[in-house]
Every structure is written in C-alpha cells, then in structure tokens.
C-alpha cells in the first residue's frame, strides 16, 4: 500500500473549503479505482483563520478518518503552513496544494504517473498565462523572476507554483532546511531532485479572495532575493567604490575651481557630493543591515509555527460524537 498525504494550507477559506473537499474526494476515488495500491490522508493547516475554517475542519475530521488538521495559535503565513504540513504528513508521497481550487485536483492522477515509477521525484505545474491577474502585478512578477535568476545560483522557474506531488525522499530533504525565513519556491529548487513541469493556463479562485496585497507580495519577493542571493551585498560594495571614484573626481574639480575664481559654484558642487555620498552610504548600510536582521532572526531558532489544536486532540475530546457517526 502507498499512502498519499495531501497538504492544504488554509487561511480564511470557509467559502472554498467545502468545494475543495468535494472535488478532492472525487479525485481520490478516481485514483483509487485506477491504482488499487493507493490510500489517502488530507492534512489541512488552519493558519489562524478568523472565519469558520476551523469549525469546518472539525466537522470533517469527525466524519472522515482520512481528514487530519493542525490549527495554528495565530496566523504564521503560508510558508509556515506548508512546513507544518510536510512535517506532519505520513505519506510515501506528499502533495502540497491551495484550498481555493487554483491548483486543479484533476492534475493529480497525471502527476502521480510521473512520480510513481521513481523516474521523477516531483511533479509540479507551471502557469503559462497569468489570466485574471492585474497587468501591473504580472509585470512586477516577471521583473522579479528576471532579477532573481540573474543574481541567484538557485534557479526559480517563472510561473512555477507551490502545487507539488513529491516523493518521501524529496520531502525529507526539504524538512532538513530549518530556516526561519522560508521561501519555498527557492527551497524546492535548492534541494534539487528530478522535477517534471506540467504547463497549464491560470485558473481563478472559486470563492473568497486572495490574502496577498501588492505590498505583501513585494515584501515576499525581497525575502526571496535575500534568502537565496547575497548579490545585493555586492551591489553595496560596487556602489561604494563608484561613490569614491566620483568623490575623487569632484575633489579635483573643486580644487581647480577654487584656485581659478568661482567660490559660489564650487560650494554647490560640494553640496551635491555630500548628498550623493551620504545617500549611497545609507543605502549600503541599509542592505547590510537587512541581512544582519535576517541572521539575527535565524539565530533565535524560533519555532516556525505553534499548534493550538489538531484532529487527535479534537477527536479525543469528542469521543461521544465520534461513536454516533
């Protein structure tokens, strides 16, 4: 028998969750019919939702023994959710997917076919279009992938997603990476292993709304750059050298001007140089400080997530209701 764990991070997904559960049940049934060796578990992560997500998960866990869940003590972010899911999944294969059906469950049989013989360790999808997304957002996303792939040795495929069907070996490798500042797109790529991409057109959310603001995404992309590249530190050095050269040239010009006659103009030149160098210094110190801040957070070894409740705790509290079912 082969167990497939399906990990689903959920943050305020009361509207999508019932639809997702219905769809995934159909697919699990279909896959079991085709491959009699397969069994499934669903590992939902309630990432500190403020709506009825946890209540729905509790109901599902009482009725369906395949449903497991971990409820966080607060919102820790999707990255922490995925980590918790991978850490708690017991499967020989682990799937990570969103609850909003933007990762169509219909792809799972195809993905399983790629990993089942061990030829690939991971099957994942790649969006070839960004249909339904705002133009500015797509433009910035494309810019991010361009910069990222220029300055980092870890390749990050444009349009790659956190929708993955992975072997146990690959999951174990990911779990070895305990970093606090997690950027999964980079982590999936950094661990290596053989990955098969399946291309598809973007699908819009079934219900609810995205929890990513533009600013949130911007911060997340900076996080990604800093987690997988130290090139910005190099930029700081180069800018510093450049500023020194400019300063030196201006110094010569100033001496020449002062000697010749025009003191007023030479003072303006001084002001310019002052601002230029001051600004560059602040910029470079800022970049170094950002990395220092990340190192500081890592050195605290804080847990990536904290659990408040899971299906075991809930089931043992509600033995009576379980027997009724």
Which residues form the interface with ligand UDP (CB under 6 A)? Answer: 9-11, 13, 47, 75, 77-78, 81, 98-100, 102, 210-212
The CA distance from 245 to 261, in Å, is 25
Sign, CA torsion 164/168/174/175: positive
Residue 105 contact partner, candidates Mg ion, ligand UDP, none, CB within 5 to 8 A by sort of partner: none
Query: Among ligand UDP, Mg ion, none, what does residue 224 contact (CB within 5–8 Å per kind)?
Result: none
Q: Which is nearer to ligand UDP, 41 or 47 (CB)?
A: 47
By the 8 A CB rule, do 120 and 194 touch? Answer: yes
- Least Cβ distance, residue 205 to Mg ion (angstroms): 5
Residue 242 near residue 170, CB atoms below 8 Å: no
Whole-number minimum distance, CB 127 to Mg ion, in Å?
A: 11
Enumerate residues 6+ apart whose C-beta is below 8 A from 84: 45, 70, 72, 304, 305, 307
Contact assessment for residue 252 and residue 207, using Cβ atoms and an 8 Å cutoff? no
Residue 13 interacting partner from ligand UDP, Mg ion, none (CB closer than 5 to 8 Å by kind): ligand UDP
Q: Among residues 238 and 297, whose Cβ is nearest to ligand UDP?
A: 297
Q: How far is the CB of 131 from Mg ion (least distance, A)?
A: 13
Cβ-based neighbours of 258, under 8 Å, separated by 6 or more = 266
Instruction: Give whichever of 102 and 189 is closer to ligand UDP, judged by the CB atom.
Output: 102
Q: 314, 309, 320, 319: which is closest to 61 by C-alpha?
A: 314
Contact of residue 288 among Mg ion, ligand UDP, none (CB under 5-8 Å per partner type): none
305 torsion bin: left (phi>0), alpha (psi -120 to 50), beta (else):
beta
Shortest separation between residue 123's beta carbon and Mg ion, angstroms: 20
Indicate the Cα dihedral angle 153, 173, 93, 154, nearest 10°. 0
11 binds, among ligand UDP, Mg ion, none (CB under 5 to 8 A by kind): ligand UDP
- Per-residue buried b or exposed e for 247-285, using 16+ beta carbons within 10 Å of the residue's own CB: eeebeeebeebeeeeeeeebeebeeebeeebeebeeebe
Integer Cα distance of 80 and 122 in angstroms: 20
Could you tell me which of 167, 200, 173 has the C-alpha nearest to residue 189? 173
Helix H or strand E segment including 86: helix 78-88
User: 257 is in the binding site of which of ligand UDP, Mg ion, none (Cβ under 5 to 8 A by kind)?
Assistant: none
Minimum CB separation from Mg ion for residue 11, in Å? 10
Q: How far apart are CA 121 and CA 141, in angstroms?
A: 27
Cβ nearer to Mg ion, comparing 132 with 303? 132
* Percent of residues in the chain assigned helix, strand, coil, to nearest 5: 55, 15, 30
Cβ 99 to ligand UDP shortest distance, Å? 4
For ligand UDP, which is the closer residue by CB, 47 or 311? 47
Nearer to Mg ion, 141 or 276 (CB): 141
- Nearer to ligand UDP (CB atom), residue 99 or residue 174: 99
Q: Which residues make up the interface to Mg ion (CB under 5 A)? A: 100, 102
**Min dist. Cβ of residue 270 to ligand UDP (A):** 50
Name which of 70 and 280 has its Cβ closer to ligand UDP. Answer: 70
Q: How far is the CB of 252 from ligand UDP (least distance, A)?
A: 53
210 DSSP 8-state letter: -
């Amino acid at each position: 028998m082969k167990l497939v764990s399906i990990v689903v991070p959920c943050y305020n997904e009361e509207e999508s969750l019932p639809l997702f559960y219905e769809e995934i049940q159909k697919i699990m049934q279909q896959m079991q019919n085709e491959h009699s060796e397969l069994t499934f578990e669903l590992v939902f992560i309630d990432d500190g939702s403020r709506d009825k997500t946890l209540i729905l998960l509790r109901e599902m866990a009482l009725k369906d023994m395949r449903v497991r869940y971990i409820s966080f003590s607060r919102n820790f972010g999707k990255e922490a959710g995925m980590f918790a899911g991978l850490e708690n999944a017991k499967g020989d294969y682990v799937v990570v997917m969103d609850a909003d059906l933007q990762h169509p469950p219909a792809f799972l049989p195809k993905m399983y076919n790629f990993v089942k013989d061990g030829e690939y360790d991971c099957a994942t999808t790649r969006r070839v279009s960004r249909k339904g997304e705002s133009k500015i957002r797509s433009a910035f996303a494309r810019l991010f992938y361009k910069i990222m792939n220029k300055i980092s040795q870890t390749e990050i495929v444009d349009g790659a997603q956190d929708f993955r069907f992975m072997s146990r070996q690959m999951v174990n490798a990911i779990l070895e990476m305990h970093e606090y500042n997690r950027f999964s797109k980079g982590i999936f790529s950094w661990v290596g292993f053989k990955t098969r991409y399946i291309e598809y057109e973007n699908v819009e959310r079934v219900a609810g709304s995205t929890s990513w603001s533009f600013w949130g995404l911007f911060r997340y992309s900076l996080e990604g750059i800093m987690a997988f590249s130290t090139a910005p530190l190099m930029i700081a050095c180069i800018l510093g050298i450049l500023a020194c050269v400019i300063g030196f040239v201006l110094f010569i010009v100033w001496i020449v001007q002062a000697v010749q006659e025009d003191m007023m103009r030479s003072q303006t030149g001084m002001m310019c140089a002052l601002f230029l160098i001051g600004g560059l210094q602040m910029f470079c110190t800022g970049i170094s400080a950002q990395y220092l801040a990340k190192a500081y957070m890592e050195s605290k070894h804080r847990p990536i997530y904290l659990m408040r409740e899971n299906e075991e705790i809930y089931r043992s509290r509600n033995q009576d209701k379980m027997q009724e079912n």
